[in-house]
Structure 1
Amino acid sequence: MSTPYESVAGVGRPARDALRLAGYPHVESLDGVDYAQLDALHGVGRRGLERLQAALVERGLSLGGHVPEPHARQATFTDGHTGTYAADIKTKPTSRTPAEFVEELEPPRRVEHGRLLLEIFGRATGAQPVMWGPSMIGYGEVHYRYATGREGETFRVGFSPRRAKISLYGLTDDAGAQQLLTRLGKHTVGASCLYINKPDDVDLAVLEEMVRRAWDSEPSSHC
């Protein structure tokens, strides 16, 4: 599904035209694109990129490279489910089971990766996984409300075994995360998302500790 730029409030026509001219026809096409590359485009401002990054994060995606943290705002994050979403938020819990999703992944190596991550996240959180949207597996629920009044719900921690990279959500905001990242192994970080190519590239004990610490910390914004 493709999201038009016009649906993201605050992204002006100059930015929309510049992004399309550069070969990025819709919001999802920006996933993984280097932030600095987009920031250099004439007509694309940092405020617009911040809003586009927020739209990507809501869809389980992210810009690539070094993505600046959003400007400080009054936002609240609370445990639990309220059922209140902004009208345009599409990523919500589904009835499909994560186990079914994992077993249908291609190629077969992704099935093994998915099974392993289900085991690690389940052991670290003690919670049952839930599918969010078509490809994200989440644990726990967090309600967020921004200063603008926009609000919705997401999961506390989770992952998505994507074909190119495995996306790990909610693991980098904990106070001790940066120290653990130095011991994790091969990875990249974009905004609050953590990416690995495959579980073999990282120390799985460190990864499990990151999941456990993030689960036990106060809820916050994540990818």
Structure 2
Amino acid sequence: MADRMTQPSDAPVEAFLDAVEPARRRADARVLDALFRKVTGWPPVLWGTSMLGYGRYAYTYASGHSGQSLATGFAPRKANMVVYIMPGYADFSEILSRLGPHKLGKSCLYLGALSKVDHDVLAELIRAGLADLGKRWDISPG
């Protein structure tokens, strides 16, 4: 059975955004939602219970394992805003050097206060991540 965190849901995005705590993280989530909508041109879908995804892709690995995932998106967590740049193969170090304070995971970026991040550079990173993903898998709007 697939993990619920990696499955799209029909839950209303506005209700999810309204429930983000604390208030500063909720405000940042709304800013990121607007940025992702503008950059991708796609409406968000709630994946699992805590990730907003913009676009999706289906994959099949050489091992035969297959599934689907969000193409890009974010999750507002209490400690950090987590931005997903999938699947994490490309070297985005030049873009990241201009972004502002962040920490890296395998396919995710951890941001503290969004006010300290260059939003134009974040938009560039989202576009670059989607372009890289599109070289490997077909991306659909939702």
Query: Shorter-chain TM-score: which interval?
Result: 0.7 to 0.9
State the partner residue of 2:39. Answer: 124
1:127, CA displacement in angstroms? 0.6
CA contact (8 A) 1:171 1:210 kept: no
Contact 1:142–1:156, Cα closer than 8 Å, also in 2: yes
| Offset of residue 148 of structure 1 | 2.3
1:170 is matched with which residue? 85
Select which of 125, 138, 150 maps to 2:53. Answer: 138
C-alpha distance in 1 between matches for 2:116 and 2:40: 22
Aligned partners of 2:88 and 2:107 also within 8 Å: yes
Q: Is the 8 A contact 1:145 1:151 kept in 2?
A: yes
Match of 1:88 in 2: 2
Partners of 1:168 and 1:194 within 8 A in 2:
yes
Aligned to 2:104: 189
Measure, in 1, the Cα distance between the counterparts of 2:118 and 2:85.
Answer: 18
Q: What are the ranges of 5 or more consecutive residues in structure 1 without an aligned counterpart?
A: 1-86
Mapped to 2, the partners of 1:125 and 1:213 lie a distance apart of 11
The CA distance in 2 between the partners of 1:123 and 1:141, in whole Å, is 16
User: 1:199: how far off?
Assistant: 0.6
1:97 is displaced (CA, Å) by 2.2
Task: For residue 177 of structure 1, report the CA deviation from its aligned partner.
Answer: 2.0
Larger relative contact order (Cα-Cα within 8 Å, sequence gap ≥ 6)? 2
* Offset, 1:175: 4.7
Residue 99 of structure 1 aligns with which residue? 14
The structure with more radius of gyration = 1
Please point out which of 51, 74, 95 is paired with 1:180.
95
Shift of 1:216: 3.3
Q: Which moved more, 1:171-180 or 1:120-129?
A: 171-180
Q: How much is the aligned-residue C-alpha RMSD, in angstroms? A: 2.0
Partners of 1:211 and 1:99 in 2: how far apart?
22
Q: Note if contact 2:86-2:133 (Cα within 8 Å) is conserved in structure 1.
A: no
Percent identity between the two aligned chains: 36
User: Bigger shift: 185-194 or 169-178?
Assistant: 169-178
Say which structure is richer in strand. Answer: 2
Match of 1:202 in 2: 117
Describe how 1:11-160 pairs up with structure 2 within 5 A. 87-90=1-4, 91-160=6-75
Determine the C-alpha separation between the residues in 2 that align with 1:129 and 1:88: 21
Q: CA deviation at 1:202?
A: 1.1
**Count of aligned pairs:** 135
Q: Distance in 2 between matches of 1:218 and 1:149?
A: 19
Distance 1:174 1:208 in 2: 18
How far 1:95 moved relative to its partner?
0.8
Query: What do the CA deviations read for 1:145-182 (whole angstroms, capped 9, x no partner)?
Result: 12222211001100001111111001684756221000
